[in-house]
Copies of this chain bind each other. A is one copy, B any other.
Amino acid sequence: MNYRIKDISLADQGQAQLEWAELHMPALMSIQRELERTKPLKGVRIAAVLHVTKETGVLMKTLKLAGAEVSLAASNPLSTQDDIAAALVKKYEINVFAWKGENEQDYYDNIRSIVETKPQIVMDDGGDLHAYLHENNLYSNVIGGTEETTTGVVRLKAMEEDGVLKYPVIAVNNAFTKYLFDNRFGTGQSAIDGVLRATNILIAGKICVVAGYGWVGRGIASRLRGLGGRVIVVEANPLRALEAVMEGFEVMTMKEASKIGDLFITATGNIRAISKEHILNMKDGAILANAGHFNVEIDVDGLRKMAKSRRIIRPYTEENVLSDGRRIYLLADGRLVNLAAGEGHPSEVMDLSFSNQALSVLYIYQNRGSLMPKVYDVPQDIDERVAKLKLDSMGIQVEQLTKEQVEYSKQWRYGT
């Protein structure tokens, strides 16, 4: 065994958390039962850089029970749940290198540690592991990999276009059952949960500014409205902006929105969606949170440099006092607020995402040799199988098409 974690004695507490997650991950559990029986990944070395949460724990356990040798590092310095790390080490012999509150050096050291296991399949959340392997020419053993996030997929596609990608990667993020449920429903709820745990503010009556109207942004916008907020959307793409307008949201530039917002949440996937200039427009008491993968969407450095004083007023809530006395509140250092100030996605959401992960890992291994060094979508039948497993677990029946109806959809002749 090889590991580096905070406190192994937290294993029992972590085990209870894993059981709680398993109760809410019926699709992945049904896959786990099958893989444990058939052991299709016997002896395969897998390295994963993922948020070390109870749901990731269930995924890692699933791969381990399927026969694999599994190593795990954190995809974010603040997102590790130390009890889960302990349980994975002690109860399931998974090599974990992660703890809550890693510094930047630790973070990269831990990635290096799992790379030293010479992984055959690599799983990533954000693209740092894939980038590390490529920049250091450490991909020779790698059959293929998966990528969990939009951010990571964008990076991998850029690599593919530059002709430097060295192994096939399945973009789990592009599964319908991932991007829709994880990004929209998962982050929609959990980002707000993170804001509420950090601040305990009332959403009703607040002017809430959401930057970015991709799946994450629209999930957040919808939930803020559902809690009584008045929601303003800032978006660069005219198609998305128009959709937001038609959903009844106000749409304007951040330059305008920054003057009136009470709460700002970024989900653009881009840098400085909230800049120093925007912050200078803001009202006393404005709250800034980020729900995007990287902590670049809010100009944190710019804010702190402008502040004449700074303190932590509540856990994850940093007060920055501007020179004229206005107070600006930054949550979770501008890191993704649902993980840093909350517990990340609910297990039910990760059930879908991680069912796709488990089946994609299996797919890569079973199709080794026949895949190109490209970014692949999750195969459609995996996607639909995951949806079906979930509906079954909820006791919900889809409509069964009649033979006549199946026929009908294939016709094109005149007069049908």
Which residues of chain A have a CB within 8 Å of any CB of chain B? Answer: 16-17, 19-20, 23-24, 127-128, 131-132, 135, 154-156, 158-159, 162, 176-177, 180-181, 185-186, 188-189, 193, 196-197, 200-205, 211, 223, 225-231, 234-239, 241-243, 245-254, 256, 269-272, 285, 294, 296, 311, 313-314, 317, 327, 342-343, 345-349, 383-384, 387-388, 390-391, 394, 396-402, 404-405, 408-416
Query: How many identical subunits does the complex contain?
Result: 4
Q: Are B271 and A248 in contact (CB under 8 A)?
A: no
A selection of 9 A-B contacts at a CB cut-off of 8 Å is A16-B314, A193-B196, A197-B197, A200-B343, A204-B248, A239-B387, A241-B391, A251-B396, A253-B398
- List B contacts of A201 (CB < 8 A): 24, 346-348
Q: Are B177 and A247 in contact (CB under 8 A)?
A: no
For the complex of A and B, list the 5 residue pairs with the smallest distance between their C-beta atoms, beginning with the closest.
A226-B226, A202-B346, A155-B412, A131-B414, A238-B387
- List B contacts of A227 (CB < 8 A): 189, 223, 226-227
Known contacts A248-B230, A414-B135: A390-B242 contact under CB 8 Å: yes
Q: How many angstroms between the C-alpha atoms of A271 and B317 in the bound complex?
A: 39
Q: Are B311 and A241 in contact (CB under 8 A)?
A: no
Q: Are B185 and A202 in contact (CB under 8 A)?
A: yes
Q: Which residue of B lies closest to A392 (CB)?
A: B238
Other A-B contacts than A193-B196, A241-B391, 13 sampled, CB-CB below 8 A, are A177-B239, A177-B242, A181-B242, A200-B346, A205-B245, A223-B228, A225-B248, A228-B246, A230-B250, A238-B384, A253-B398, A271-B404, A272-B404
- List B contacts of A132 (CB < 8 A): 414
Q: Which residue of B lies closest to A55 (CB)?
A: B200
Known contacts A156-B412, A235-B398: A186-B205 contact under CB 8 Å: no
- List B contacts of A229 (CB < 8 A): 248
Q: How many angstroms between the C-alpha atoms of A24 and B262 in the bound complex?
A: 11
Q: Are A400 and B236 in contact (CB under 8 A)?
A: yes
- List B contacts of A196 (CB < 8 A): 189, 193, 196
Q: Among the listed B19, B185, B197, B311, which residue makes an inter-chain contact with A204, where contact means beta carbons less than 8 Å apart?
A: B185
Q: Among the listed B200, B248, B387, B398, which residue makes an inter-chain contact with A347, where contact means beta carbons less than 8 Å apart?
A: B200
Known contacts A189-B227, A405-B270, A409-B269: A204-B397 contact under CB 8 Å: no
- List B contacts of A400 (CB < 8 A): 236, 253
Q: Are A412 and B204 in contact (CB under 8 A)?
A: no
Q: Among the listed B131, B211, B223, which residue makes an inter-chain contact with A413, where contact means beta carbons less than 8 Å apart?
A: B131
Q: Are B20 and A314 in contact (CB under 8 A)?
A: yes
Q: Are B204 and A252 in contact (CB under 8 A)?
A: no
Known contacts A200-B346, A271-B404, A404-B271: A388-B238 contact under CB 8 Å: yes
Q: How many angstroms between the C-alpha atoms of A266 and B408 in the bound complex?
A: 16
Q: Which residue of B lies closest to A229 (CB)?
A: B248
Q: How many angstroms between the C-alpha atoms of A154 and B20 in the bound complex?
A: 39
Known contacts A16-B313, A247-B228, A410-B158: A238-B391 contact under CB 8 Å: yes
Q: Among the listed B225, B246, B411, which residue makes an inter-chain contact with A158, where contact means beta carbons less than 8 Å apart?
A: B411
Q: Are B16 and A311 in contact (CB under 8 A)?
A: yes
| Minimum CB–CB distance for A406 against chain B, Å | 9
Q: Are B399 and A236 in contact (CB under 8 A)?
A: yes
Q: How many angstroms between the C-alpha atoms of A246 and B180 in the bound complex?
A: 10
Q: How many angstroms between the C-alpha atoms of A80 and B155 in the bound complex?
A: 48
Q: Are B313 and A399 in contact (CB under 8 A)?
A: no
Q: How many angstroms between the C-alpha atoms of A229 and B296 in the bound complex?
A: 33
Q: How many angstroms between the C-alpha atoms of A371 and B197 in the bound complex?
A: 43
| Minimum CB–CB distance for A104 against chain B, Å | 9
Q: Are B399 and A234 in contact (CB under 8 A)?
A: yes
Q: Which residue of B lies closest to A193 (CB)?
A: B196
Known contacts A226-B223, A390-B242, A394-B245: A399-B253 contact under CB 8 Å: yes
Q: How many angstroms between the C-alpha atoms of A222 and B356 in the bound complex?
A: 29
